[in-house]
Amino acid sequence: MAKDQTMRNLFKALDGFAIELPSWGFADTGTRFGKFFQGAAASTLDEKLHDAGLVNQLTGACPTVAVHVLWDFVAGEDPRNTAKLAKKHGVKIGSINPNVFQDQDYKLGSFCSPDPKARRAALKHTMDSIAIGKAVGSKHLSMWLADGTNYPGQDSIYRRKKDLEKAFKKINDEMEKSWRGSTLLIEYKPFEPSFYHTDIADWGMSYLFCQKAGKRAKVLVDTGHHLPGCNIEHIVALLLSEGMLGGFHFNDRKYADDDLTLGSIDPYAAFRIFDQIAQYTFDTGKDPKLAYMVDQSHNLKPKLEAMVQTVDEAQKLFAKAHLVDRKALAIAQKSGDITGAERLLKDAYETDVRPMLADWRKSHKLPACPLTELRKSGVVEELSKARTQARKDRGEVQSSSYA
């Protein structure tokens, strides 16, 4: 009977778990040293949304797609056309990501730039992004800034902070006025592309900017945006306690912001994050309503495979966290049984949840193993041939047709 109840609870948790895919994760990307093309990579918005829809069909967990305003919308065109295109592929538009780092005007920063022209351009673009978000039915504006400096004395850190506070306050106020029910997610990163200081370098700075901005703003945790050895689940627990955690960008890393598939390096770290979220719900009875999002861009691993792999891994780790015996854990913690408490976490983490996930997927008419289904379908190879030819027909030249 207890086992049956555990399965029912797990199925209910999985029913409520959704993780957003990034449109840019399906397109060709590169490094500072070059770009390696893949034949099956998406090169149009229709292809990106098609691929996102395919991953959702295989996993049943990805109903929304994060979009970049400069990359996924046509200037002067009704943004609702993009929402219609997403619907055609069985998904919806998710978080709206303004682009305030790509234009040459932003080489010294966006909201923090010493150039008032750049600051005005960044604010206007973000206000336009808010209007797009409202039009397409999104619920999140996700802000990542490349702002920072490379050398001591390059700019006034104090002035930059004050200008950024003002910008976020204006953004929050506009969202409060015109985009009800939305959340402003403020991301942080300790370094890159700037290497002396980054204007939002850690979760504490993001928290402070959120407080100054207003009630729409919450912290966005990217699992790759931390210095080595950082205890991310501790940050998660603190932000949950303060009601200031808005969501996640999931990926994995070995050294820095490596954009690797979730769980490829340290799956126990991601499990510990999900564990803290499950513990918060157990302790408080509250659903924190977090935005789970993937933020990965793969240069070598086939993009569709990488996304399916990540979603599958996220579901596994999420499921494992919901197998922890919370009542037994509370007893062990209260009695000071350190070994017993740790074993409860390790027992859940080491459980093979693949049969349970297969049963859940069967109940939703999904393939038992989405990655196996994708690989045996031949879809990636078919897309590679069709898209390579389509690019040739459009006069686009690539140096490789790698699938």
- Eight-state DSSP code of residue 148: E
Is residue 331, in this structure, part of any structural domain at all?
Answer: no
**Residue 32: its pLDDT value, please?**
73
Could you tell me the residue range of the domain that residue 215 belongs to? 17-311
Is residue 351, in this structure, part of any structural domain at all?
Answer: no
As beta bridge partners, residue 64 has 92
Is residue 144, in this structure, part of any structural domain at all?
Answer: yes
pTM (two decimals): 0.96
Residues in Cβ contact with 149 at an 8 Å cutoff, skipping those fewer than 6 apart: 155, 157, 194, 196, 197
Q: Encoding tokens for residue 375?
A: 């690989």
User: Domain count of the chain?
Assistant: 1
Q: Once rounded to an integer, what is the mean pLDDT over residues 132-141?
A: 98
Q: Supply the Cα-derived Rg of the chain in whole angstroms.
A: 22
Is residue 79, in this structure, part of any structural domain at all?
Answer: yes
pLDDT tens digits, one per residue of 234-256: 999 999 999 999 999 999 999 98
Exposure string over 235-268, b if 16+ CB within 10 A, otherwise e = bbbbbbeeebbbbbbbbbbeeebebbbbbbeebe
Model confidence at 67, pLDDT cuts 50, 70, 90, reads very high
CATH number for the domain harbouring residue 285 = 3.20.20.150
**Residue 399: its pLDDT value, please?**
58
Q: Calculate the CA 335 to chain-centre distance.
A: 38
pLDDT tens digits, one per residue of 19-64: 999 999 999 987 777 888 999 999 999 999 999 999 999 999 999 9
As beta bridge partners, residue 185 has 142, 218
Residue 75, pLDDT above cutoff 90: no
Residues in Cβ contact with 37 at an 8 Å cutoff, skipping those fewer than 6 apart: 28, 398, 399, 400, 401, 402
Side chain identity at residue 376, one-letter code: K
Is residue 372, in this structure, part of any structural domain at all?
Answer: no
Asked whether 56 and 90 are in contact (CB, 8 A), the reply is yes
Q: Where are the alpha helices (DSSP H) in 219-353?
A: 232-242, 267-284, 303-321, 326-334, 338-349
Is residue 80, in this structure, part of any structural domain at all?
Answer: yes
Q: Encoding tokens for residue 363?
A: 């109940």
Is residue 28, in this structure, part of any structural domain at all?
Answer: yes
Is residue 307, in this structure, part of any structural domain at all?
Answer: yes
